[in-house]
Amino acid sequence: MASDHTRSAILTAAERLYADRGFSDVTLRDIVAEAGVNLAAVNYHFGSKDELIAELFVTRSIATNRERLRELKAAEEQGGGRAPIEVILRALVGPTLRGCLGPENQRSTAARFMIRASIESVPPIRRIKNREIDHLRKFVGAMRRALPERSEVDIYWGLNFALAMAHHTIRESERLTKLSEGQCDLDDVEDVVARVVSVATMALTAGRVEAKAPSRVAAR
């Protein structure tokens, strides 16, 4: 094991290069040049290029998922096993958005890497995403408890739309900025979270629990 200096140098260099130039543009030779290590080191330490990418992505998404569940658990415990739907949705999309957006010039390498992963979706990453379903089921459970009268299908659609808004906003943030000529402020992450949560909440409560908190629905 020694100090694992080479191993972590590869991880750092790979994340930075993938974040900057995307997966399809970066070769192992680029990575080892940036890391200042030998070409064979990648296969020695990670087995293959795909496993290197997988490790990068898994590390980051584990962190996000942990934060998601932490927020969800805290909310449900505070509410005696049942959290308000807005808070559940916030726990679902908040960590993802906070992890990727924010002022562009101060975005971490990790953030930019996750944006790339969201845009390009290379095979090893797709494989990992497919295993995320179990994780999402925990949110389905919480949402069901929060909205017991709501049909199961509506819950799934609500979840789908919440994730849609969060991920699409991340993926197409540049286009939204250009389209709105800078008027949409994507640097204000908490505003983005509030907007997504607000719309997703409406999607899940409209036509049913109308009586509840109509003042919360307006974005901002």
Among 40, 164, 206, 213, binds DNA (CB under 7 A): 40
> What CA–CA distance (Å, rounded) separates 208 from 128?
36
Which helix (H) or strand (E) element contains residue 68?
helix 49-78
Buried b (16+ CB within 10 A) or exposed e, 108-144: eebbbbbbbbbeeebebbeebeeeeeeebeebeebbe
Select from 32-40, 106-114, 127-135, 157-165 the region that touches DNA (CB under 7 A): 32-40
- How many residues touch a second copy under the rule CB under 8 A: the total is 46
Asked if 167 and 96 touch (Cβ cutoff 8 Å), the reply is yes
Q: Applying CB under 7 A, does 116 fall inside the site for DNA?
A: no
Q: Which of residues 165-194 bind a second copy (CB under 8 A)?
A: 165, 167-169, 172, 175-176, 178-180, 183-184
Give the shortest CB-120-to-a second copy separation in angstroms.
Answer: 7
Q: Applying CB under 7 A, does 160 fall inside the site for DNA?
A: no
Q: Applying CB under 8 A, does 128 fall inside the site for a second copy?
A: no
Asked if 90 and 198 touch (Cβ cutoff 8 Å), the reply is no
Chain positions contacting DNA, by CB under 7 A: 1-2, 4-7, 27-29, 37-45, 48-50
